[in-house]
Amino acid sequence: MFSGIVEETGVIASVSPSFLSIKAGIIFDDLKLGDSVAVDGVCLTVTKISNRTFSVDVMPETLKRSTLGGLRAGDSVNLERALTLSGRLGGHLVEGHVDATGTVERIDWEGESEILTVSAPFEILRYIVEKGFIAVDGLSLTVTTKFKTNFKVSLVAFTRSHTTIGHKRVGDRVNLEVDIIAKYVESFVAKSEPRVTEGFLAEHGFIS
């Protein structure tokens, strides 16, 4: 589990169809082989550590479902180590399991805040609510407005300067993960709904 509070941005050192190597700094304080690190919101396992660079294996499914397949050497990525039970939850619970990718459709400004309009597939838009949480490239953000095909988030100066999202441009793809609580609520509600069938009606005397 992660919080969606990005610790630092790393730089892609090298890429291959099966792994990524990333240069970083802060997260090396206690990084160990086997640890989980969210890379642009994707939970990956550390398989090698050397000279302030760590490597993670990536699967074809991960590359298809996220933006990681488009990364090149020199690209910046958001990094966050997994939560500890003794730490603060400053954002929201993020699994690091990307649901889909979206596209930055508009960039507007309201005073000092940058407003991103991001498209999202219908299958995850149903989980998005105004003032609710969403992870965009691993960054915990609050949805300010929701529409039929997209949603808006507001970025303050600190967020723009300390993560990769401040460099996004119209047309850029981003990783999206909806709030897991919404998925659980949907599942519980679906299980509790009565299923009225022909057999149910006959059993209770409504039809013969």
The rounded distance, in Å, linking the Cα atoms of 159 and 112 is: 12
Instruction: Specify the pLDDT at position 193.
Output: 56
Instruction: Specify the pLDDT at position 187.
Output: 80
Residue 1 tokens, joined: 């589990």
Domain membership of residue 202 (yes or no) is no
Domain membership of residue 204 (yes or no) is no
Q: How many independent structural domains does the chain possess?
A: 2
Range of the structural domain that residue 61 is part of: 8-81
Residue 29 tokens, joined: 């304080």
Domain membership of residue 19 (yes or no) is yes
Q: Which of 98, 2, 102, 25 is nearest to 59 (CA)?
A: 98
Statement: residue 192 has pLDDT above 90: no
Is the whole-model pTM more than 0.75? yes
> In the listed set 51, 81, 111, which residue is the last one of a domain according to the structure?
81
164 in the same domain as 106: yes
pLDDT tens, position by position, 126-183: 999 999 999 999 999 999 999 999 999 999 999 999 999 999 999 999 999 999 888 8
- Residue 2, classed as helix, strand or coil, is strand
The rounded distance, in Å, linking the Cα atoms of 184 and 199 is: 29
180 in the same domain as 118: yes
